[in-house]
Each structure stands twice: as structure tokens, then as C-alpha cells.
Structure 1
């Protein structure tokens, strides 16, 4: 429900807004059931504030009108019930009265209608999960030639309850049939499924009004453009952790297991690790703040809420009550002092690959960059060791140079973006000085953002590997490297996300008088994470558009590689050009810059060598077959409920997968696996990464003098 594509954010600036929303208390009221979720006054204020900022300052300057309201309405229903599996046609007919009025509701801060829609959905959801549990008491005939249609998004909503009951009866039968194929008894499988459905119901019952508010605000902002986003305080905290690749807490990964908050891994060197009192699979049953705070029981809590309670500012104390796994005796109490935890596993990583070039070994360093991250708070505070992509890559480059690599591949596949500043500074590691990106704001004023540091961290041959999920900052970096002729771009057409977002802390925007009035009306905001400075959430607002230094936008079109690989990711389903509210591609004047090289003369020869390898490559053949198989499977919408037929189909698929996997392994020089044999850890089956290094090796072997960058 809450899927988001994280994007480039200008985290340095804060937009000032003089709007002073008022608290609306006389919005139309509906009859509220005991289990219904209701909006609060703070959400009303935030809704109005976001609406005003979006309409006044968004780059697209989209007015809130009936047309946008219809899009918001469609987005909201899609977020709630995209597969048309819960709501009835009569429910949607009732909701249609709001199709052209949600714009007025948003401007007024009236969330009652949005919550009404959600509560109807939640009622249906609960009803059909309970219905599914009740179905398990019945007998099942797996010999019938029935078909379950699982992909229903193009089908109409169910006409009545009986139609939905039939659908869910089939869904239960399908879930049970999947378990039957594992070889366990029907009784065991029914019990497993009952626990699964009960857990789903439990998690659903833990939804709160912030979840509803987030879903509705997502539907609203997505109607404006794909990358303007509002985040509730808790989601804002998670977004900023993702941006900084660091957090302040105890250094443990948590997961909800059978209603218990369970420790699944421990960060080496973190407070939990250093205490020697915390073990993997320990269950946290209560949390207290400081040395004297009262314990709060968290059994049955949503994992997000429990994490918010356990996290906190560096240097503060948290006490935990822990139960050892498998033991239900007296819990033990431990005391931990929170620290700053660096998330190394999701930072830039390196490896070295060796290629044979006419009997000579060529060493290629590969740097995988998952995001353009920056710990902005540390940077702003002047900490010389602040966490950032550029700093991490600079250290890796120094290491690779000491190991005498002959070339570098920067792997940006599935890198969805991050900090604009990091995109510019990372580019600066490979060029002397010059413009990196142009930014045009809503007033049509163009700013050129340059690299001003003449130092070059690496001056040798390089390539950049991208795919359809390389976006935003990845595209800025790739486009600059391509425009300068500094490196060769390999892979598939990138995402095409070329817009700039400003991260706005709404606490710094909302009128203090309104805050005071809210505080007096509602008291302490219990939904805000302990230790959080953000009470009203964060707005990532699209305020500008990126352009290459050569003039073309990265928006919509993305970056086209010099040598293209087939894409496993369907280009017609993922990418900016598939987003209805996306801005179009356009061109502005190029800026002055001096090319460092020119790959145009050498690309045809490199492509010829690549094509020759691919024409006889089993790995390439299997890749093309995989792409065709993915396309075929994505077109399937139903499955048999006949046990014999499904088992036969699954066995054939499993055998085919094993055979194909072993063919891939043999093609890469690895030994085939037997059925049930686990793949060795750290084994590399990444054919495209290997080929990227081979193309760079080809370039090095051509002894081409195009790249004339000198290190100073």
C-alpha cells in the first residue's frame, strides 16, 4: 500500500512558507463505528499546509481542481484495492460521489471522506480474512478442474458478496493447495494457514490513522507528480535513515515473529554487540526510556512502532526486557546507551575482477554504489568523518589504485538516487573541474552546478553500468560522465527521473500559533517517535528539473547507454515514461564545458567485439530466454486448482529451473548443483557485470588515446 520510489532530494535547503492554516473543526461528520479510524486535527492542518505548498511552489504549478480530484480518487482506490479483491461494485458506486470533491476536501483539511472510504475497505478486508479462516473448517476437493484468477486489476469489482465469497473460497483453496504440495498433512496445512490468516488479521488491526493519512496523501501527491511525497513523522525518519545510511540506536535488526519483536541480527561494534547481553532470536517484550522510565509492554505491537521506541538520540539510555528464544521464564533487563550506527552493508562496495587479454592479465575494479547517500546532519555539524557516497568511493579508489587495477567499472544498477550534492561531488572524483548538471526552477531560471575541486581521484579508463532502475542522481552522474567523454556507459536505458525535490521539515513551516492551538486541543502527540524532533512530517516537494550539460533533460528519457544490454526489467512497466503525471522531456541550451575524451570513434569497434561474444555466448542466450519467460509469466492471470495438474506443472517448472540454472553455471565456469543443494555463499552469477568488465578490457586493449585526463 505504501510503496514509494525514493528520489534525489536537495536536503540543504528549507522552503519558507508564510501560510497560516487554521484548524478546521466544523467539517461534515459521518457516523463513526467503534472500530473506525478517524482523522485528527493535526492531520487536517498538515493536509492544508501540504496542499498550499504543492499548489504554490511545485515546479508543475498544478491547480487543485475537479480533474486532479478524479486522479486522486483513482489513485486512492488503487492503493487500497488494486486487484479488485475486497471492494464491491456498490461500495465504489457509493464512493463515486467524492470523485470530484476530494480537491475541495484537501484544501479545507477535511479528511472525513477519505477516512470513510478507508474504513469501508478495512471492513471488507477484515470480513474476507475472517471468511478465509472460516473456510478452513470445510473439506476441499483438489480433483476438480477449477481455475483461480489471481490477477483481477483489469476485471470489474464484484457485483455482490456472493461473488467475492466465491473468489475468496478459491483463494483459500489455492493457498492450501500450495501447502499440500510440500508433502505435509491436510490438518497441518490448515493449521499453518490459519496462523497465517490470523497474523494478517492481527497486522491489519494494528493500522492507525497515520497509515490512512499516509495512503491518502500518497494518492494526492502522486496525482501532482510521481516524486512529490509527504512522509508522516515515522516515515520521514525512515527516509532520512535511508538517505544518510546511518541511524542512532542499539545496533540490531528487528522483526515481528508471532507477535514478539525479535532480534534477527546484531551490528558488529554496536551497543547490543558490545554489551554481550543480547542474542539473535531474543524477544523484546518491554522498553523503558532512561535509567528510571517506566517499562512499556510491546508484545503485539507493530514492528515500526516498536522500532521507533527503541531508537533514540546518540548518548541516551534505553532499557529492554528480553526473553531468550525458546524460554518463557522471567525476562532479564538490560541497559544500553544508544550510539550512531553506520549501515555498512548498504554502502559502496568494491571487488576486483581479472580478465585475460592476449595472455596478459587485466585487473578491473568494480565499485557497486547502491545509492547517493549523505549524512547531512553530520556534514552540517562539521564532522570531518561524515558518511557519504563520495567519501566512501574515494577511499575505495585509493585502495584499488594501490592494487594497480587497469580500469574501473562503476555499477549503478538499481541505484534509485539520493543526494544531488553527492552526484556532483562523485563526478568530481573523475574530472578536473567543470559543470556537472543544469537545474531549471519554476521561474525558468537555470543554475549550473559545477565541480570546483581540481583534484582527480582516478584518471584511468572507466565504464558506468546502469539499468532501468538507475535513476535521479545515478542519471546525473552517468550523463555527465558520458557528456565529458570520461567513461563509456553500458547497460539499459535508465529510469528517466529528472526532477529536483526539496526536503521540507513541516515543523519549520507550520505557524507556531497553530502548533500551540493543536497542543492545547490534543495534548501530547502519542504517534510521534520517542526522541523525534519532527512532529508534523516532511514534504519532499518537486521544485526544479535537471538537464545535462549538453542541454537535454534526464527527465522522461533517462540516459541511453553507449552499448546497450537487454533488459530483464520490463521497460513498458517501469520508468518515468510509464508514469501518467510525469513531466515531459525537453531541451535547454548547452553549457560551456571541455570534453575530456570522445568515445564515438571507438564505440563501434567495442560494440562489434561485444556482439561477437554474445553471438556465441550461452549466458547471453539464457538471458534472452529469461526475458522472454518473464514476459510470458507476466501475461498469465490464472492458475489451476487441480492438485495433480498443479503438481505436474510445478515439478516441471522446478526441474526446468534447476536445469537452466545449471546451464548458466556451466557457462560461467561453475559446477552444476544437485537438486536441493544450496548455492555456495558469495558465488557470482552476474553475467552482465562480467561483460561490463570485458568491454572495458577491450577498450584498454585497443590502446586508444581518447581519454587524455591527467592526474594532478
Structure 2
């Protein structure tokens, strides 16, 4: 193909010349995994929650997942490749069952050939491409993966690559990088991708293939090869001598899944779930582009000794996703006490009287198993610590209690069960249904109650698993108002199963509330909703591929202490009226509105420098105006730069939750007085 001719047609376009001799060898199946394949089929069909039949329907889904795992951004395969490879879409089940997975390597080697040619050509011609970019042209790049289709011609794919490169180069240029630095960073990016391919071995390919099969069943069932599991482990934690974040690969990017409570990322920065890390740097050293880099390599760069600084360049999940920013985080080791329960008191003024509302923030459900095994009677656990804090708050004469489970991703099921028991007499808290249909209730056996007064549970989209069990039980018992946002929806149980080589993490059971409703997929819905900047379309169980469904089983026997729904017609309008006047909530709702608008706007990114800068400046101006409007309403000094804006104080939510609780108490007292008056009249 004559790239100069295409260059004239596209003004700044490029088509890639023939590649040098192949640098990589085609990979072939490892016969020592033949037995593993047969074991996988037997185990999945035997003990997976859905008891699936690994058939052509599963194979067809797995084929799509496998193609997506290899080429998630549709950057290497052409539509003709996909059409040709479709002949194998019903072969995955047979390959696994027969212990002959040649089909996986046949597909992979086609991908390898396309990728190798693309990246080698790219490296050869990258300098002239970067120098030839014209940032005055009105061009756009589609960044919406749902609208991205396979290119039908080499020229179409060439142009897609040109625009992707131009977009990254423009982002770096706007951030102040020189043309030489831009070229160096892009060259390093694609060298990293070539190095990743060079390091990929037959075991890695097998693991990807096996996980395509498991992904067709549910998003939490995964196969881990003996020496390669870290590469694909979606729960990779950096809590030890790191930043305290859980990362996973998303297309060619390293994406933040969640932050470890009490960790450096959560306490020192505004890093958020769904943010993408595109470059990593050490203090005083140049940034290294990590797009296309292996996850374990990125993790190694982020990890480091305590008290050293790592710099992350990220694209935010909130609002302007086309502009990157850099954040610095000092590495620390996350300790148990950093994740411990904490208390505070919120003072609310009403009718000339001050009411105290206790707030206990619980970042995770923890238990110091090492101390327990050592026989330490004073071991720390979320239940014991929470009980101590409640006793302290009661001495301060609190009127009501808030249990804050926002961003609590779960933890010990035993602790969740025991903690619920602090607020109810002996009774069931959760039901667990296994793959055979057998339902086992778990409950609190201690009839004593630590706190019996009015209370609320605060949740958000990052409240998951054990948090949802507690919130669901408190809601079903009518024991607490549930406030905030719809929870994550992680209502499944996984176990590790050893195979001949490696391990299978397999979904084997589901959680159900005492009401019989599953927490899976749907999560826990709040009684009264608070605004949230977390996008439920991209975060949560329902945002994952192929989640297990929500369903319902028989309810258990349990008492209902307060008929919470009966109070909502009074509580909700008062909550809405306060939010409409509260400058903090007005600002949050305005930010949510701007975010939704920007999400739609940036599904197509401008490659015109002037337009990009204007958009960036407009976004900054809107953000500053929104913040200064809030500050003026609160009587605070206004700011001159968006860099000085700090997140809205989380006490805003605790204060509004306290107001709702006081409304609840007042409404309940009024209802009691009316009932007593009616009884007296009768």
C-alpha cells in the first residue's frame, strides 16, 4: 500500500509498510494442560452454582470473550479476520472436554501475527507520524467502545491508529511536553507492548482461553495458572508497601477497581474507582507510559518502599475523560488500625435544642486472625470495636446512631453476622443457597442487644458483599433507615478449587436476605436516596459482563421492628427540601449533571488543539464557578484556581442522615402520641 497516497487523502494519515521479518514464534499447546482442561469441564459442570452444561452456547459466548481479551480495543484484527475465525466459535467446549485446545493457539497466532506487524511498522514510522500531526484540523476520535467496530480495510485500521496516536500526542502536548518527549513516551509505550508479547508464553494463552470459558458463566469464576495468576488476578492489591488500591486490566489500560480503606490512595488523593492509570513515575524521575503494559509490570512500578513517592498520570472517571492529570502518593503500609472502626458525634440544632447523633464509620469487616490464633483475648475485630464505640457514644447521650458502610467492600462474613447481632436479638441475618439448592441460614445467637435506639445505615455503590448483608438485614428487620445509593450487588460466594495445575476460583453459592431477596446484581436499594458521583452504569455487579441474575427464595421467620416504608412519605419531602437549599448538595447535584453531560460529549474526542483547550478551559471555569457558588452560600472565601478545590466534606452526608433520623424520631413520637390519645378516647 502506498502510504504517501493515503497521507494526501487524509492530510495527516498514514498506512503501514510491510513489516520486517517476524520477531516472535507462534505458540503451541502444552500437553501437560490436557488434564487440566478435562478437570475444568468436570469441575465447572459439577460444582458451579448454575450447574452449567459446557456446550455450544457456552462456547459461542467464550469465543467472543476470548477475542475481546486478545483485542479489546479492536486495534489489530480486521473484520475479515473475525469472519474467518468465527468458524471456531462452537469449538471451545469440545476443545476443553477433549483436552485438545489447539483452537485457542490457532486464534492467538493470528492475533500475534497482526499485532507484531502493526507494532513493528509503528515503531519504524512513529517519528515521521508524530512530526506530521496537524493539530489545527477538525478531526475526531471515537472513544465509545460500544460504538467501535472492526475495521474492514487496512486503510481504515491505519487511520484509527493514526487518530489514537494523535490523541495521546495532543494530550501530552497540552500538558506541556515537548515533541521530543512525546515521541520518546510513545516509542516506550509500543516497546512495552512488544515486550509484553515477547513475554507471553503458552501458559498465558491457556489461562486466557480458560478464563474465556469461565467468563461465559459469571464474572467471578476464574482460572489461575500456577506461575501466571498474578497477571490476570482482578483482585491484585497494592496494600503492602504500596498505594492501597485494587487494579485490573481494562482494554490496554490499568484501571482502578477500588481503594483500600485507610490506604494512601484513599487518604492522600482524589483517585477514584474507574480511573485509568496511563503513566507512572518515581519521585524526581521521568514518567513512564504504561498503556499496553502487563498488569504485573505496572504493579511493580507502583509498589515501592514506604515513605517514597509515586506519581500517577490518570484519566478521571468523573467528567473530563479526555484530559489527564498527575497525582502524587506517598507509599505506606496499610495497617489494621487504619481500617478500624471510628466514631464521631454530629450536633444538630432544632428548636433551640442540640441533639447528638453518633456516627460509626466501618471501612471493612475485619478480624485479627493472627491474634486470635495466638490466644490474645484482646484481639481486634469490627464487631468488638464497634461495640466499644457504641458504649462510648451512649455515655455521650446520643439521640440516634448512624452506621456508615460507604465504600466498605466487605470482608469477614462471620463479622458481618456478629455485627448485625449488636442491633437485633437472636435471629437469622442471611441465607446461603448452594449449587444443590440447599439453603443454610446464618444468624446471631446472642440475645443481647448493644444498641436498640433509632439508627440509619449509610451505603453507596462501593458498599459490597458483607456490607450488603448487614444493610439488607437491617432493612428487612425494620431496624434502620437505609440511606445513600444502591449498593454494589455482589451476592455470590466463591471457593478455591485445586486442579492438576493451578487453581479455579469458582462461584458456588449465593447470598439471600432474610426476606428471601438476593443481594446479587440488584444490591440493596436505599429507603432514601442521596446524590452520588459514582456512575452505576460503569461500576457495580450489573456493570460486569454476564453477572448471575437477581432472584428470590422463601423468606425466613423474623420480626419487623419499625414499618420504615410508612414513614417515607413524611421523610422524603423534608429530605428533598433540605437538599434543595443545602449549598453542598446543590453543588454535588450540579457536578453530577455536568458529569453526565461530559460523558456523552467525550464519547467523541476532538483532535483539534484549539478546541481541546477551549473545552478544558470551559470545564475548569464551570468547576470553579460551581465551587465558588457553594463557598459564597456557606460564607467561605472564593477560590481563583480549580487546583485549590477540595472534595466536599463527607460530614455533609452524615449531617443530612442525622436530620433524617431526627425527622424519623419526631414522626414516630407524634404517631405514638396520636395512638395514645385515640386509646384514651376509646
State the alpha-carbon separation in 1 of the partners of residues 526 and 383 from structure 2.
Answer: 23
Task: Work out which of the residue numbers 21, 33, 47 in structure 2 matches 1:57.
Answer: 47
Q: Which residue of 2 aligns with 1:602?
A: 567
Conserved? CA contact 1:66–1:103, under 8 Å: yes
Task: Work out which of the residue numbers 571, 578, 590 in structure 1 matches 2:555.
Answer: 590
RCO greater where, 1 or 2, for CA within 8 Å and sep 6 or more?
1
State the alpha-carbon separation in 2 of the partners of residues 484 and 117 from structure 1.
Answer: 53
Q: Does 1:190 align with 2:190?
A: no
Q: Does 1:80 align with 2:70?
A: yes
State the alpha-carbon separation in 2 of the partners of residues 74 and 449 from structure 1.
Answer: 39
Q: Does 1:504 align with 2:470?
A: no
Q: Which residue of 1 aligns with 2:626?
A: 660
Conserved? CA contact 1:203–1:302, under 8 Å: yes
1:15-48 Cα distance to aligned partner (Å, 9 max, x none): xxxxxxxxxxxxxxxxx98444555455544443
Query: SS at 1:602's partner residue?
Result: helix
State the alpha-carbon separation in 2 of the partners of residues 208 and 130 from structure 1.
Answer: 20
Distance 1:622 1:281, change over 3 A: closer
Q: How large is the Cα RMSD of the aligned pairs?
A: 4.3
Q: Which residue of 1 aligns with 2:657?
A: 692
Q: Does 1:142 align with 2:135?
A: yes
Conserved? CA contact 2:348–2:659, under 8 Å: yes
Distance 1:387 1:105, change over 3 A: farther
Distance 1:212 1:700, change over 3 A: farther
- Per the TM alignment, residue 683 of structure 1 is displaced from its structure 2 partner at its CA by 6.6
Conserved? CA contact 2:456–2:482, under 8 Å: yes
Q: Does 1:447 align with 2:440?
A: yes
Distance 1:405 1:679, change over 3 A: farther
Compare 635-644 and 206-215 and name the one that shifted more. 206-215
Higher helix share: 2
- Per the TM alignment, residue 88 of structure 1 is displaced from its structure 2 partner at its CA by 1.7
Conserved? CA contact 1:206–1:302, under 8 Å: no
Q: Which residue of 1 aligns with 2:323?
A: none
Q: Which residue of 2 aligns with 1:217?
A: 210
Distance 1:92 1:670, change over 3 A: farther
Task: Work out which of the residue numbers 494, 510, 516 in structure 2 matches 1:545.
Answer: 510
State the alpha-carbon separation in 2 of the partners of residues 208 and 627 from structure 1.
Answer: 44
State the alpha-carbon separation in 1 of the partners of residues 166 and 550 from structure 2.
Answer: 48
- Per the TM alignment, residue 378 of structure 1 is displaced from its structure 2 partner at its CA by 6.6
Q: Which residue of 1 aligns with 2:520?
A: 555
State the alpha-carbon separation in 2 of the partners of residues 447 and 370 from structure 1.
Answer: 27
Q: Does 1:68 align with 2:33?
A: no
Conserved? CA contact 2:590–2:626, under 8 Å: no
The number of equivalent residue pairs is: 584
Conserved? CA contact 2:24–2:198, under 8 Å: no
Q: Which residue of 1 aligns with 2:317?
A: none
Task: Work out which of the residue numbers 151, 160, 166 in structure 1 matches 2:159.
Answer: 166
Task: Mark the runs of 5 or more structure 1 residues left unpaired by the alignment.
Answer: 1-31, 256-265, 269-279, 284-300, 312-319, 326-339, 515-535, 708-712
- Which residues of 2 match residues 393-542 of structure 1 at below 5 A? 393-401=386-394, 404-501=397-494, 503-506=495-498, 510=499, 536-542=501-507
State the alpha-carbon separation in 1 of the partners of residues 36 and 491 from structure 2.
Answer: 27
TM-score w.r.t. the length of structure 1 is 0.71
Distance 1:170 1:580, change over 3 A: closer
Distance 1:127 1:381, change over 3 A: farther
Q: Which residue of 2 aligns with 1:102?
A: 92
Conserved? CA contact 2:95–2:101, under 8 Å: yes
State the alpha-carbon separation in 1 of the partners of residues 305 and 478 from structure 2.
Answer: 58
Task: Mark the runs of 5 or more structure 2 residues left unpaired by the alignment.
Answer: 1-21, 246-261, 265-281, 286-292, 310-332, 673-682
Distance 1:381 1:103, change over 3 A: farther
